[in-house]
A and B are shown apart, each in its own frame.
Chain A
């Protein structure tokens, strides 16, 4: 069974640009969550999508957005990039019930210069 796939693995962008990250969940999983990991702030929840609907949202500015497609694949977009957006972005998929665990991808390392 294939795991969670995130593309690309590494990305370098310039301040002010926008970026789109992609996540393919485990087959059969309908929930996709996104997290930002930085040395200073640790792992922070961005948002969760379930069956194409955003079900929960963390405390991030509107520059961070996402969507989910009918095949459960998800994309995350960050507009007007800032240096502080440099981070490891992790995607997690699950069946969607509260008592089910989340499976993480290897992440996309975004560097903003």
Chain B
């Protein structure tokens, strides 16, 4: 079955430290991949997406993610965490043939410690 998994429902990092949020998908065909961020009582904001082409994707706010087909992963990273990065992050997948149906991971809440 097609699915997406985010490892770690809560991640804490110190301000200035590396941020690494993990995402793996299960599909025989590489899907379209997205990372979204959600602040409290807000909608979702797109950080970055992978559709085709370069496997290292740069997004907004200094985030980037790398699509690794062999590992079926799309982990999100940021070299140096800021206090403003504290939010919930969702990995999302759109499988081929699903039109606009997006399957979301369960989310990872990022805490940034000063």
For the complex, is B3 an interface residue (Cβ under 8 Å from A)? no
With A42-B104, A42-B107, A43-B90 given, is the CB distance from A98 to B43 under 8 Å? no
For the complex, is A103 an interface residue (Cβ under 8 Å from B)? yes
Residues of chain B within 8 A (CB-CB) of A15 are none
For the complex, is A90 an interface residue (Cβ under 8 Å from B)? yes
Tell me, in angstroms, the Cα distance from A72 to B89 when the chains sit together.
Answer: 29
Interface residues on A, range: 20 to 34
Interface residues on B, range: 20 to 34
For the complex, is A66 an interface residue (Cβ under 8 Å from B)? no
B52 and A98 contact, CB distance less than 8 A: no
A55 and B104 contact, CB distance less than 8 A: no
For the complex, is B82 an interface residue (Cβ under 8 Å from A)? no
Give a binary string over A3-35; 1 marks a CB under 8 Å from any B CB, 0 the rest: 010100000000000000000000000010101
B45 and A104 contact, CB distance less than 8 A: yes
For the complex, is B56 an interface residue (Cβ under 8 Å from A)? no
B94 and A43 contact, CB distance less than 8 A: no
For the complex, is B83 an interface residue (Cβ under 8 Å from A)? no
Residues of chain A within 8 A (CB-CB) of B51 are 99
Tell me, in angstroms, the Cα distance from A92 to B49 when the chains sit together.
Answer: 16
Tell me, in angstroms, the Cα distance from A10 to B46 when the chains sit together.
Answer: 23
Contact of B96 among A98, A101, A107 (CB under 8 A): A98
For the complex, is B34 an interface residue (Cβ under 8 Å from A)? yes
B100 and A56 contact, CB distance less than 8 A: yes
A107 and B101 contact, CB distance less than 8 A: no
Give a binary string over B42-59; 1 marks a CB under 8 Å from any A CB, 0 the rest: 111110010110000000
Known A43-B104, A45-B102; further 13 A-B contacts with Cβ < 8 A: A31-B100, A33-B101, A43-B90, A48-B99, A48-B100, A55-B100, A56-B99, A98-B100, A101-B34, A102-B102, A104-B36, A104-B44, A106-B43
